[in-house]
C-alpha cells in the first residue's frame, strides 16, 4: 500500500505522518495509513492510546500538529490539514459522518428524531418537508427504530436507539467515509448485538468506507477488514483483522489479544 503523492487511483483517505500534541503531551505520533473505498479499518488499543485523538483529527474536530490527511473528496484529492476552513467544514459536513460514543454529542437532544435525520438533508438544500419526512422514515426503519417514534425526542430513546439514530443521521446524505468512535461502548451486551448487526448489514449493503475506533476486539473483528493496533500514540502493528487477532506478532498486540475473556 505504498502510495506516492499524485499517483492514481487515489485511495479514499491517506493519512501521512500525522502527529497531534496537546502542548507537550503526545496524542498520536507519526501515524500513516490508507483507507480504500469500501474498506473498513478498525483502530484498536486501550484508553489513552491515541486512537480517539487520531479519529478526531481526521474528523476535523481537532487541529493537527503535523502531517497530512489526504481525502478523496468531491472537490478533489485534498489535504484536510491545509484546506481553508469554509471548504473543510463543507466537506466534513456533507462528505464525512461521525458517530460518537456519547450520543448527546452526536445528536440534538431537543430536536425530534426526524429533525435529527433531516438536518443534513436541509443543510444540503432540501426544502421539501414531505420528502424529508419520507427519507427520515426510511432511515429509521433501516436502523430498526419504529417510524412511529419519528417525532419523539432522542432523550426518550434508549442508549442503543440513540446510537442507531446517530448512525441514520450520519448516513442519510451518503457520506464518503464514516468515522465511528467507540459506537458500542456503554451499551448492554444485547443492545450492542443489535447495533453491531445493524452496522454489519449497512456495511455489506452500502459498501461503507469506515474507520472504527474501538477497544472491543470482537466488534473490531466482526466489522473491520484491517486492524491497526495503537499504543502510546503510535501504531505498533497492522494487518488483516484475522492476522492481527489470530497471529499477533508484537508483544503489545499479544497482550491485548490474550487479555480478552471468551465466554
Partner 1 sequence: MDPILNIINISKDFVFHHQEGIRIKVLDDFSMRFFPGQATVLTGPSGSGKSTLLKMIYAGYQIPEGKILIRHKKEWVDMAKALPSLVYEIRQHTIGYVSQFLRVLPRVSALDTVIEPLIARRMETGKAEQKGRQILERLRIPENLWHLSATTFSGGEQQRINLARGFVAPYPLLLLDEPTASLDPANRKTVMDLIREAVQDGSCVIGIFHNRSDQKELADRVIDMSPNMTSQPSSQALEV
Partner 2 sequence: MSHTYNFAYLDEQSKKMIRRSVLKAMAIPGFQVPFGGREMPLPYGWGTGGIQLTASLLGKEDVLKVIDQGSDDTVNAVSIKDFFRKTAGIRITENTPEATLIQTRHRIPETPLKQGQIMVYQVPIPEPLQFIEPRRPETLKMHAFEEYGAMYVKLYEDISKHDRIVTAFDYPALVHGRYIMSPSPIPKFDNPKLHQSPAIHIFGAGREKRIYAVPPYTDVISLDFEDYPFELETWEESCAICGSGTSFLDEIITDDKGSRLFVCSDTEYCRKNGKKEA
Which range touches partner 1 (CB under 8 A), out of 42-50, 82-90, 103-111, 234-242?
Answer: 234-242
HEC per residue, 175-186: CCEEEEECCCCC
Site string for partner 2, 112-151 (x = CB under 8 A): x-xx--xxxxxxx--xxxx-xx----------------xx
Q: In the bound complex, what is the minimum distance in angstroms from residue 14's beta carbon to partner 2?
A: 26
Q: Please identify which residue in 226, 230, 231, 236 interacts with partner 1, judged by CB under 8 A.
A: 226
Comparison of 81 and 132: residue with beta carbon closer to partner 2: 132
Nearest to 212 by CA among 263, 160, 177: 177
DSSP states along 142-163: HTT--GGGGGS-GGGS-HHHHH
- What residues from 185 to 224 belong to the interface with partner 1 (CB under 8 A)? 193-194, 197, 200, 204, 222
Comparison of 123 and 255: residue with beta carbon closer to partner 1: 255
DSSP states along 197-262: HHHHHHHHHHT--EEEEES-HHHHHHH-SEEEEEETTEEEEEEEHHHHHHS--SHHHHHHHHT---
Site string for partner 1, 142-181 (x = CB under 8 A): ----------------------------------------
Q: Is 9 in the site for partner 1 (CB under 8 A)?
A: no
Residue with cell 499479544: 254
179/15 Cα distance (integer angstroms): 14
178/93 Cα distance (integer angstroms): 11
Q: Is 225 in the site for partner 1 (CB under 8 A)?
A: yes
Q: Using CB under 8 A as the criterion, which residues of the chain lie in contact with partner 2 when the complex forms?
A: 85-86, 89-90, 93, 108, 111-112, 114-115, 118-124, 127-130, 132-133, 150-151
Amino acid at each position: 500500500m505504498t502510495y506516492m503523492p499524485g499517483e492514481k487511483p487515489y485511495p479514499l483517505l491517506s493519512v501521512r505522518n500525522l502527529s497531534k500534541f496537546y502542548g507537550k503531551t503526545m496524542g498520536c505520533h507519526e501515524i500513516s495509513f490508507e483507507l480504500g473505498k469500501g474498506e473498513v479499518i478498525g483502530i484498536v488499543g486501550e484508553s489513552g492510546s491515541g486512537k480517539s485523538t487520531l479519529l478526531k483529527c481526521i474528523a476535523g474536530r481537532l487541529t493537527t500538529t503535523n502531517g497530512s490527511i489526504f481525502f478523496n473528496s468531491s472537490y478533489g484529492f485534498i489535504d484536510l490539514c491545509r484546506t481553508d476552513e469554509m471548504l473543510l467544514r463543507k466537506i466534513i459536513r456533507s462528505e464525512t459522518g461521525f458517530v460518537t460514543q456519547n450520543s448527546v454529542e452526536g445528536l440534538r437532544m431537543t430536536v425530534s428524531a426526524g429533525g435529527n435525520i433531516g438536518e443534513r438533508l436541509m443543510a444540503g438544500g432540501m426544502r421539501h418537508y414531505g420528502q424529508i419526512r419520507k427519507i427520515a422514515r426510511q432511515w429509521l426503519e433501516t436502523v430498526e427504530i419504529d417510524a412511529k417514534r419519528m417525532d419523539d425526542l432522542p432523550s426518550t430513546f434508549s442508549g442503543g436507539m440513540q446510537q442507531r439514530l446517530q448512525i441514520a443521521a450520519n448516513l442519510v446524505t451518503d457520506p464518503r467515509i464514516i468515522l465511528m468512535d467507540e459506537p458500542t461502548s456503554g451499551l448492554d451486551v444485547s443492545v450492542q448485538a443489535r447495533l453491531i448487526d445493524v452496522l454489519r448489514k449497512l456495511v455489506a449493503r452500502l459498501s461503507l468506507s469506515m474507520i472504527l475506533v474501538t477497544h472491543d476486539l470482537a466488534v473490531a473483528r466482526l466489522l473491520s477488514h484491517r486492524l491497526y493496533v495503537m499504543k502510546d500514540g503510535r501504531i505498533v502493528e497492522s494487518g488483516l483483522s484475522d492476522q492481527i487477532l489470530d497471529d499477533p506478532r508484537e508483544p503489545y498486540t499479544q497482550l491485548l489479544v490474550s487479555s480478552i475473556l471468551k465466554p
